[in-house]
Structure 1
Amino acid sequence: MSITPAFLAIDQGSHASRAAVYDSRGQRGEIVYRAVATECPRPGWVEQDAEELLESVQECVTQATRGIGSTALRAGLATQRSSIVCWDRESGAALSPVLSWRDRRAADWLEKFRARQEDIGERTGLPLSAHYGASKIAWCLANLDRVRGAHDRLVIGPLASFLAHRLCPGTVPVSDPANASRTLLFNRHTLDWDDHLLGLFGIDRAILPLCVPTRHSYGAMQAAAQTIPLELVTGDQAAALFAGAETGSGNAFVNLGTGAFLQIATGAEALRVEGLLTSIAYADEDGPRYVLEGTVNGAGNALTQMAGELGFDAADYAVQLDGWIDSVREPPLFLNGIGGLGSPWWRAEFDSRFIGAGEARARMVAVAESILFLLQANLDRARVALAPTRIRVGGGIARSDGLCQRLADLSQLPVWRQGETESTLAGVACLLGSKPAPSARDHCFEPAGNRAVQERYRRWLIELEQALEANSEPR
């Protein structure tokens, strides 16, 4: 594809790194993709190799920019949020694995702060959850000799900070607001580390990156004989919100990837709704822009895991899912706690289970519907404060027509899917200045009278609440 290059968008995600070049009209070159590995050495532990993630990004950047002679290329980076890494500020060498956003190894340690959760939530916009960075940082400081031995060379921070520091030699470690805000240490009002929370969790400000705006001179990358300024760093979901369409209050945005996320933009107003997140989508000299957010930990990863357990090939189930959704009339219910139960319940440990019988393909449909039911529960909670009139959807599993139609049927809202489902890459390009026009591949799914899926959702809510009551944890 021959385009005028302008913007290099980079997305480092849970399962792969991606990069592509966009022009000012949103036309995209080929997406370069590099898969990355994940290790789960113990229950609740989810790790990745920091150097492997860095190398995958470097390879994607090199391939995406090969043969491009423009000197006007500018770059932006989005990463998985809530993933933490420790490194040496002098050599740049990683001193720990990346503790993934799905990692919950320090959940028990975090429970001792349960009585402070209201104050923590007011400062950060987050619930007290081991998915976020504070407990992971404390675990690394307490358990990793290389981390303790680094002394004044030690930096601990979001994965995005590590990647930006290594991609741009000669810079100091910094953190953007979207990723810093996923640590339980970042004050959403002051846009800086919160000294009260640092003291509460026993973390020294000196080991953290400096806090900077979303758009910032992060440094310069070298790729394909070019010097490319890195001008923007953010989180993957924060970027996806800006993928080529209005972010006004009439829209709810759903990104269906490894996890699934519901976001409703609230502008300069930081709305609080019990059980949901008040997240920072973007911040510059004019201040922060907030979203009300719900999070589902088990989405694409839940489908992949269940496909493996039921004997399906990962590529095979992705092709067949729409056919199964169409043909299975009454699937069982699936209580989906894969990766922990996210908003609005926030249970680090929840045993997933099927309610009712069904053959393998019916169980796959049940898992798919459970993702939508979890999203709908978050949408129901958000409607206490906001009333979106349509849903924008993106992400890898949003390519499923069946899922999109069922989301429309369940929510009773039109679901609009952009032709470009790589929402994070497109969002990075838009934030850098690309302005895509509507595509002929855009599609709107209108709600149909599917009472059966609404009835299953009602029964699913009852079953979930009963399961939670039977296994109550302190809140």
Structure 2
Amino acid sequence: MKSASIVIDQSTTASKVYLIDETGTILDACSKTHNKYYPDKGWVEHDPQQIWEQVLECIRRLILAHGDEMKFVRASITNQRETVVAWNKETGKPVCNAIVWQCARTNDLCRKMIREGHEPFVLQRTGLKIDPYFSATKMKWILDHCEVDRQKVRFGTIDSWLIYKLTNGKVHATDHTNASRTLLYGLESETWDDELCTLFGIERSMLPDILCSDDVFGWTDLNGLLKEPIPIQGVMGDSQAAFYAQRCVHEGDIKMTLGTGSSIMMNSSKRQPRIDGLVNVLGYKMKESRAYGVEGIVNCNGESLNWAKEDMRWFFDYDELNEDLFERSSSVLFVPALTGLSMPYWNPAAQGMFIGVGRQSRREDFLLAVIHGVICQLCDALACFGSAGMPVRVDGGLSRNKFIMQLLADLSGRTIEVCEHPDLSAMGVWLAGSGKNDFKRKTNTLYPKRPDAWRQAQLERYHRAIDCVLMLANVKKEETEDETKI
């Protein structure tokens, strides 16, 4: 009988579950797209109960299809980072919808804390900026705005919520990579920091235990689907899981994961002083090894294409992003700030903008502008890592389009090495849980084809558009502050 791991990849857009055998081969998969809610301007939410039910349904389908021929040996979890779930420890019911990493509802709180001078301390302890992107201000918002019993409320990122549900409420835990994204975790102490918890008004009792990614987090019978429980082993935030799967184990190794948003992470061997525009990051922490790095975060890449497809109806199938589209010449340019601008600008109040629109502009021009804007944004992020050197190891949804990847090589001036595996985040936690060091991979390498003059002209035009977006965001900020004074 063949052995397989059940690997959960819970992302911003969908919940995917894989069956992966002991050689690292994906045997089968099931996926369900969950709802996103936008109850107010800049707010983004998920229903944690829906996420749990969809994960369980995917597992159920795979077990029903393969249970007679398969021995299931472990469950592993990789997840969207920074998204916060709060639930009552006695009832197991969520206090409110999950607040997604993209959500900007804590902008005012973050600005207030920065004005009060707290950011240098937070940077020193966590390596992160005070920004709505990270988890702590979301937790504080829930405590301040929802009906919460402080003795019974429990917080967690999506991994903690799934572990809690998979263990029937017995385990409240997370791993170091997810904990390190909360603004409550000390990079040096490698635990919850009491002073940070006090600063954000979060009690340690509300937070999960922190374990290494290759620890056993608990045991699960998958809600009665298995006769005998299996260990939950292999837990990691999705970007770090991809970093681990890409084997970024040497100084200067760099990877880019292109999902709903994007993460660019470079191995720095040990914790480094913060580089402007980047944040320090715990790359991974196993029982016997760890890696540090620096990371660049881009909010809205795949999400910009989702918006163009699902909301604007500028295309209906990703096969339409083909050679004919990319050969088109267009003056339209887009700044993809649909949920603010992250690195290197860190302005959550920024909003998206089209420029160069004329009477002759067509649907294809707007679509191409969105793609160019996304790639220009990624180039801005890559520039923070210094001059081109090592190939950039790329994975994630957008990496499957060869025309988009060639545009990335042309506009960045860098060698792009695309891993053709469908889900490196899942493979990262499979590696962590199984104790394996690597798996078979196939890569495709693309080189810049356009001259430097073309690349510089394209980026200079994009940066002028960024200046306009930032100017309008600052005007909006000043108007808001004036209204607050009144």
Q: TM-score, normalization: structure 1?
A: 0.91
Q: In structure 2, how many angstroms separate the alpha carbons of the residues matched to 1:454 and 1:336?
A: 19
Q: Is the 8 A contact 1:45 1:104 kept in 2?
A: yes
Aligned with 1:455: secondary structure?
A: helix
Q: Is the 8 A contact 1:331 1:365 kept in 2?
A: no
The correspondence for 2:284, drawn from 261, 271, 282, is 282
Q: What is the letter of the counterpart of residue 177 of structure 1? A: H
The equivalent of 2:163 in structure 1 is 164
- Note the C-alpha offset of 1:356: 0.7
The equivalent of 1:267 in structure 2 is 269
Aligned with 1:73: secondary structure?
A: strand
The equivalent of 2:230 in structure 1 is 228
Matches within 5 A, 1:190-339: 190-223=189-222, 224-225=225-226, 226-286=228-288, 288-313=290-315, 315-316=316-317, 318-339=318-339
- Note the C-alpha offset of 1:431: 2.5
Q: In structure 1, how many angstroms separate the alpha carbons of the residues matched to 2:85 and 2:381?
A: 30
Q: Is the 8 A contact 1:266 1:290 kept in 2?
A: yes
The correspondence for 2:441, drawn from 423, 438, 442, is 438
Q: Is the 8 A contact 1:269 1:290 kept in 2?
A: yes
136-145 or 321-330: bigger deviation: 321-330
Change (3 A) 1:370 1:59: same
Q: In structure 2, how many angstroms separate the alpha carbons of the residues matched to 1:369 and 1:459?
A: 11
Q: In structure 1, how many angstroms separate the alpha carbons of the residues matched to 2:60 and 2:240?
A: 25
The equivalent of 2:481 in structure 1 is none
Q: In structure 1, how many angstroms separate the alpha carbons of the residues matched to 2:409 and 2:299?
A: 21
- Note the C-alpha offset of 1:432: 2.6
- Note the C-alpha offset of 1:55: 0.9
Matches within 5 A, 1:412-427: 412-427=413-428
Q: In structure 2, how many angstroms separate the alpha carbons of the residues matched to 1:245 and 1:172?
A: 30
- Note the C-alpha offset of 1:92: 2.0
RMSD: 2.2
The equivalent of 1:463 in structure 2 is 465
Q: Is the 8 A contact 1:333 1:370 kept in 2?
A: yes
Change (3 A) 1:211 1:431: closer
1:394-427 CA-partner distances (Å, limit 9, x unpaired): 1112111111111111222221112213222222
The equivalent of 1:390 in structure 2 is 391
- Note the C-alpha offset of 1:124: 1.0
Structure 1 ranges of 4+ moved more than 6 A: none
Aligned with 1:152: secondary structure?
A: coil
Q: Is the 8 A contact 2:234 2:431 kept in 1?
A: no
Query: How many residues are treated as equivalent by the alignment?
Result: 463
1:154-180 CA-partner distances (Å, limit 9, x unpaired): 112222111111112252311211111
Matches within 5 A, 1:120-159: 120-145=122-147, 147=148, 150-159=149-158
Structure 1 residue ranges without an equivalent (≥5): none
Q: In structure 1, how many angstroms separate the alpha carbons of the residues matched to 2:47 and 2:153?
A: 18
Change (3 A) 1:270 1:288: farther
- Note the C-alpha offset of 1:366: 1.4
Q: Is the 8 A contact 2:31 2:58 kept in 1?
A: yes
- Note the C-alpha offset of 1:246: 4.5
The correspondence for 2:49, drawn from 48, 51, 56, is 51
Q: Is the 8 A contact 1:90 1:153 kept in 2?
A: yes
Q: In structure 2, how many angstroms separate the alpha carbons of the residues matched to 1:52 and 1:167?
A: 14
Q: In structure 2, how many angstroms separate the alpha carbons of the residues matched to 1:151 and 1:269?
A: 35
Change (3 A) 1:4 1:277: farther
329-338 or 199-208: bigger deviation: 329-338
Q: Is the 8 A contact 2:246 2:393 kept in 1?
A: no
- Note the C-alpha offset of 1:72: 5.7
The equivalent of 1:88 in structure 2 is 88
269-278 or 174-183: bigger deviation: 269-278
Q: What is the letter of the counterpart of residue 371 of structure 1? A: V
1:161-210 CA-partner distances (Å, limit 9, x unpaired): 11111112252311211111221111111111111111112221121112
Change (3 A) 1:254 1:413: same
49-58 or 65-74: bigger deviation: 65-74
- Note the C-alpha offset of 1:312: 2.9
Q: In structure 1, how many angstroms separate the alpha carbons of the residues matched to 2:247 and 2:45?
A: 34
Change (3 A) 1:228 1:154: same
Q: In structure 2, how many angstroms separate the alpha carbons of the residues matched to 1:117 and 1:97?
A: 28
The correspondence for 2:374, drawn from 371, 375, 381, is 371
Q: In structure 1, how many angstroms separate the alpha carbons of the residues matched to 2:406 and 2:9?
A: 27
Q: What is the letter of the counterpart of residue 207 of structure 2? A: L
Q: Is the 8 A contact 1:261 1:375 kept in 2?
A: no
Q: In structure 2, how many angstroms separate the alpha carbons of the residues matched to 1:340 and 1:397?
A: 20
Q: Which has the higher contact order (CA 8 A, sep 6+)?
A: 1
